[in-house]
Structure 1
Amino acid sequence: MTQTEKQRGGNPRKLLVTGGAGFIGANFVHHWLQQYPGDSVVVLDALTYAGNRSSLKSLESDSGFTFVHGDICDTTLVEELLINHGLDTIVHFAAESHVDRSISGPDAFLETNIIGTHSLLKAAKKVWIDLPVADGLDPVDHRFHHVSTDEVYGTLEPEDPAFSESTAYAPNSPYSASKAASDHLVRAYHHTFGLQVTTSNCSNNYGPYHYPEKLIPLIITNILRDQPIPVYGDGKQVRDWLYVEDHARGIDLVLQKGKIGENYNIGGHNEWLNIDIVNLVCHLMDEAFMADNSLASKYPEAISAAAGKSCELVQFVTDRPGHDRRYAIDARKSRKELGYKPWESFESGIRKTVSWYLSNPQWWLPLIKK
């Protein structure tokens, strides 16, 4: 028995992590198996465009790790995994999450984020509650943790207080509407059927394994290919940025200390204008090329960065429909009840992120070429 198992009462957990080959999911799986080597993790991922097996490659030799290529909408498969692996915890990351894609093709978002979440809830209820009760047993001691987003709360004006757990939902895109619906389903399965659930709503994540269509990796990878960096509208949209490892730790704390049926906001206390993020990353890329002469030969296309002129790649484009102006997370409840606070400053986290992408072209280049 490991020290961490002793601290948690001696019982190793057996997790199903949906979407565990995606950005946040993969970082969470790495975090969990490092922190709790006595636990077992089954990753279920459909490997759509944003899912990447290579994000989990270093874990394939870990005896506590199992990967299953499958769809969360396959309720029978989920039931079989829960039963055959004796799983007692679901951490649900699997989601379509890119707002632009939800505008051009919302159907996939409703299918994955709403129907998929309901499929998981049905399977969990059946295996953890219905089947044991039918056999005259108590329900399995379990947890269904649902990972959501601050976008369900809508948008904020510059002087508005940050989103709290009591903020009314007001989603403005098909993506955020589908996530709001999934949040409500999770809540309903707790109040109606007694499923032991928690939900967390996070701010914008950044860090390793982030799919290159999202803002920060898009800036980095476009600079390395000397491609334009598109900035919506005036670039003055405000986002709260959270290093992905801090998010993983926040979910860990919810699983260890969170109250059943509660929602917890996990934020970075770190609001930035999009255009300021763009300029900062451009500066860090120029700085990296100046400090390391080998980068110019490693990335021969990065002409602007090699000349210290990455900002010249910035190109303002027409704003997207329904673009929320500001998000900000009030994480005081998580700090008070869970002891949560980010470990990474934005300065340290963004430098780690730039360094990771510079060091791992074998991960992101194949995605660019898709």
Structure 2
Amino acid sequence: MPRPRRTLISIEDTPYYHCCSRVVRRAFLCGDDKYTGKNYDHRRGWVEEQLLKLTEAFAIDVAAYAVMSNHLHVVLYIDLDTVNSWSDRKVVEQWHKLFNGTALTQKFVKGEVIEECMVAQLKQLIATYRSRLSDLSWFMRCLNEPIARQANIEDNCTGHFWEGRFKSQALLDEAAVLACMAYVELNPIRAKMANTPEKSNFTSIKLRIEAALKGEQPKSLLPFIGNERVNQPKGIAFSLKDYLILVDETGRVIRDDKRGAISSSAETILNRLNIPSTNWVKIVTEFGHLFHGPVGTLQELNRYCEHLSKRRRHFSNSCQFMQGS
């Protein structure tokens, strides 16, 4: 029986989560429909556009994503520090990027005087908005609902477009985050939708590569910031160059038409994560089969389960691959 989302999210343990949504109908409604002969790839563009738009409103960053034919993957970073630093006006302005709000909040952002009897109600609304702007379920709701409505209008039908609930799993340490990101970004290659990462449409890896060619990083994605250091900015504490090499070499290993080994240049990350290269390849190629719950070392998994009062450690055997011998 599915557990309530609140029992799966523990910001105390990790701000990183992998989410997946799948369409519920028989056809590949985001790609080629073999029953009608129609192509629906433009809907993948809808998903990508909406996903990156949400990062402008939510205090949630996108670390990686891939929009596939009949499902999508996204790795998200919940930024509590940012949402808690926002002023009340900033919170309302961010919420109004998504929804109209109420007459009271509209009045507040215009700088009009709020009657004393309405102040308590306003504060309650702001507290609710602040909570929702860092809430994983609200983020996925704002991603999936508009796409479902657009698709139903296009198909001239009603009913569910996505499965009832999106799936989420906690990524408990650096190794889990990078392994999941690589797994997500190599999805199109495993599905033979692309031959190389830079040709993988509707993925974060393509955006990162295109920006890297200009010496930049995409503003809509959580950046790589290099090695950990004092007073470092928000981001993933690894080199973007090393990560791109790691993804490329891992992709070469798992492609049917390529045989090779992870290069020594990519070992810089694996050494820091203390994961044998054979374990790394197994994790990335079989991530979806190995893990259906939280991902991390056994130590991180135990800590996470204790915080959420989870008695059973599901998939603890798979978590052994996340650490060296």
Task: State the TM-score bracket (shorter-chain normalisation).
Answer: under 0.3
Greater fraction of residues in strand: 1
Q: Pick 1 or 2: higher relative contact order, CA cutoff 8 A, min separation 6.
A: 2
Q: TM-score, with normalisation over the residues of structure 1?
A: 0.25
